[in-house]
Every structure is written in structure tokens, then in C-alpha cells.
Amino acid sequence: TQLLEQSPQFLSIQEGENLTVYCNSSSVFSSLQWYRQEPGEGPVLLVTVVTGGEVKKLKRLTFQFGDARKDSSLHITAAQPGDTGLYLCAGGSYGNKLVFGAGTILRVKS
């Protein structure tokens, strides 16, 4: 069974601070995705990374896929209250099914 562990589970920071969320597994994934979910809504895809060592940037968000394709990180620079939400990583296998981590709840205080 493939498992993804996310850390930290909960993060409360002040506006303007930087933060990093980690997603780790003992399994190799064909792709790794990050989603953001707001209360009462479904998750929204932020990024997909497929190549070991790949780095993608989305404005203030930087996503990295580990060289061995077992882990990933999400770094947010100068966090804003609008970044508040549940961040989920998800690993893809060659059978299309995604396995989700338990999520990181981020609260950014103004």
C-alpha cells in the first residue's frame, strides 16, 4: 500500500512569513500533485510534477519533486491571508489512481 505523509499537519503564521510543507513516502510515484482546498469546496489542482528533481514555480509558490520521486515540497514565499487553506499532496501510480496525504492546514494571520 502506497502512503504519503505530510508535515506539518497544522501551520499558523503571520502574513509575510515563508513556509515549507513536506510530503514523503517510501514508494516511488510516477507523478506528484499538489492541491489546495477551501472549506466547503473540492480540492483545486495547483501543480503536477513528473520528473525527479523537477522544480516548478507558480507566483509565490515553489514546488519540488525529489530526485528519487518519493518526496516533494511546497514552499510559499511571503504568505498572504488568501493562502489560507488545506494543502494536499497526491501521488500518482501508473494505474491512474491518486493516493492523498492527510493534508496540511495553513492559516495565515494578517
Partner 1 sequence: NAGVMQNPRHLVRRRGQEARLRCSPMKGHSHVYWYRQLPEEGLKFMVYLQKENIIDESGMPKERFSAEFPKEGPSILRIQQVVRGDSAAYFCASSPGGPHGYTFGSGTRLTVV
- Using CA atoms, how far apart are residues 28 and 64, in angstroms rounded to an integer? 15
Q: Is 100 in the site for partner 1 (CB under 8 A)?
A: yes
Q: Exactly one of 48, 62, 73, 84 binds partner 1 (CB under 8 A); which one?
A: 48
**CB 10 to partner 1: min, Å:** 9
Q: Exactly one of 15, 17, 18, 50 binds partner 1 (CB under 8 A); which one?
A: 50
Q: Is 22 in the site for partner 1 (CB under 8 A)?
A: no
CB-based burial of residue 23 (10 Å sphere; 0-12 exposed, 13-18 middle, 19+ buried)? buried
Pairing between strand 44-49 and 31-37?
antiparallel
| Stretch 80-99: interaction string toward partner 1, x if CB under 8 A | ------x-x-x-x--xxxxx
Q: Which one of the spans 29-37, 57-65, 66-74, 77-85 is the region binding partner 1 (CB under 8 A)? A: 29-37
Q: Which residues bind partner 1 (CB under 8 A)?
A: 6, 30-31, 33, 35, 40-45, 48, 50, 86, 88, 90, 92, 95-103, 105
